[in-house]
Structure formats: C-alpha cells, structure tokens
Amino acid sequence: MTAEEQPEDPRERGLRRVKRFYSISAEREWDRLDQPVDGRLEFAVHRAWIGRFLPAAPARVLDIGGGPGRYSIWLAGLGYDVTLADLSPDLLELAKEKAAEAGVELGGAFETNATDLSQSDDYSFDVVLCMGPFYHLVEEIDRKQALAELHRVLKPGGRVFAAFLNRFQTLRVAVNQDIPFFTPYTEDMIKSYHYTGVLDWQGIPGTFNLAYLFWPKDIAPFMESGGFETTDLISSQSNAADVQKHLALFAERQPELYEWAMAELIEQANEPSILGSGYHILYIGRKP
C-alpha cells in the first residue's frame, strides 16, 4: 500500500461481500421461497401474517432488501403500489424480469443500502417490508441507522414487517454434520458464531455469509427503540423448521390433510413457546 492509498472501509468491504453473494445466487434466491424443504413454509407463513395487517390496496409499499421480488410481485398482484429496493443490481434486474413474466408492474425499483433510503421522502409509504437487510448488518450502528430510515419513510399509522435471523439456530446449524464446512474448523469458530451472533466465515465462497443473528427476546425492544409499537412476533417456519422434508412428503402422501396441517402451522406461528424454533422471526409493528 502506498502512502497515498487508504485502507478500505470494513463496511464497504462487507457490502461488497454481501452483494457478491447475491450476484452469484440470484436465481437460487428467487427459487428458495418455492422450495418445499427450504422457503415454501416460510413464504406461506409470512404471506398469511402480513396479509392480516395490510391496509387496503392500492396503499404504497416499500420492499427494502426485497431481492428478486417475491414479496413485491405478490403484493403488486394484489393491487398495491410497490417500490422495490435492494443492494444488488442483479437481483433488481431479475425482479423486473419476474414481474414482467407475472404480468404485474412495480411502482419503482432502485439500488440502495438499507441504511440510506434518501431516494425516498419522509412519510412516503403506508407499509414497509424489510425481509432481509437486518440479516447482514453486523454493526450495531448500521442496524440502528437502517431502523431510523424505516421509521422516517413510513407514514404515521403505517405498518412495518421486518425479518430477523434467529440466534437459537446457531447450535442446530453447528451440530448438523450435513453442513461440511463446519467439520474442519475449530471450536472457536462455532462458539464465536453462537455467542456474538456474527456469521463471518471468510474464505468459504458461495456460502451465506457476513450475517447477524438476534436472540428472539431482543427483537421487539430493538424495533421499539426506533419508535415502533410491537404488534406480534412470528416464527417464520412455525414449529416445523426441522421437519420441512417430512412436510413435503406429507403433502404428497396425505394431501387431504396437508391443507389442514398448513393452516394449523400458520395459526400457531405466533405462539411464544415456539418462537425460538424457527430459523427466522418476523416482526410485525406499527408507527404511532
């Protein structure tokens, strides 16, 4: 490094890592929410619970960190005026393609970081979805800045839906011997992941990386510190996170009971005793 060169800002380096991950996995990210052993249950639970609190269409929705547009396209199809924003230009392009295929029109799409929504005016949205950005904001100052931006752009009385990674999953992931990259690493790596909530495995390309996980008890206080009122917390996989493979088989083998089982899983998803069992947690709140 020459005298004139400055060391790279760690945040910029982190953003580049996250952007690179989604750039190489754009189609995989679109497909994930339709995979029976991955995101299908999560998407069903989220849509059901979000739908319970949405204002009437055509309310204005900001889907920040909406990636390839699964939620944006769903909401646009219901008649909402949806603006999609994301860190990854590749995901935004894919979202536009998928929206065209679905025959829906997005109200807008722009590239940005969740910590900077300056392209949007104060009080400009009736609903804000934040279904991914808090996964990757490993610095507390960035999480607080993103929270402040969500509050700023939301109208009084507006609804916020935010997804968080659940730190209770760290032990489940750590002992899962089907995940090969844990095997050659030291106990320090696993313990750091669990105790700090920071997932930072450099040198393992193509893996979900540079993430922050919340303890469930800390989510509502965090959101309330930004001025929101808590309505509910939802286990994104209800109490079936570890049996999604069997749930998919159940759908094939006992289709007459599958719809009933799904309805029950959705209804139970806000039960406090199972909140820690999901891999993700959905926060539902309101701006006073």
List, in order of start, the domains of the chain with CATH numbers.
10-286 (3.40.50.150)
Provide the pLDDT for residue 206: 54
Provide the pLDDT for residue 179: 61
Whole-structure pTM value: 0.91
Please state, in angstroms and rounded to a whole number, the distance separating the CA atoms of residues 136 and 134. Answer: 5
CA angle at residue 160 from 124 to 134, to 5 degrees?
A: 105
Provide the pLDDT for residue 1: 45
The helix (H) or strand (E) run that includes residue 225 is: helix 216-225
Residue pair 154/160 in contact by the 8 Å Cβ criterion: yes
The helix (H) or strand (E) run that includes residue 249 is: helix 244-253
Provide the pLDDT for residue 175: 77
Query: For 217, which DSSP code?
Result: H
Query: For 264, which DSSP code?
Result: H
Provide the pLDDT for residue 7: 60
Taking Cα atoms as reference points, which of 70, 82, 88, 74 lies closest to residue 33? 70
How high is the mean pLDDT in each 10-residue block of the chain (288 residues)?
A: 58 72 75 89 97 98 95 98 94 94 95 94 98 94 97 98 95 71 64 88 63 96 98 97 91 93 97 94 98
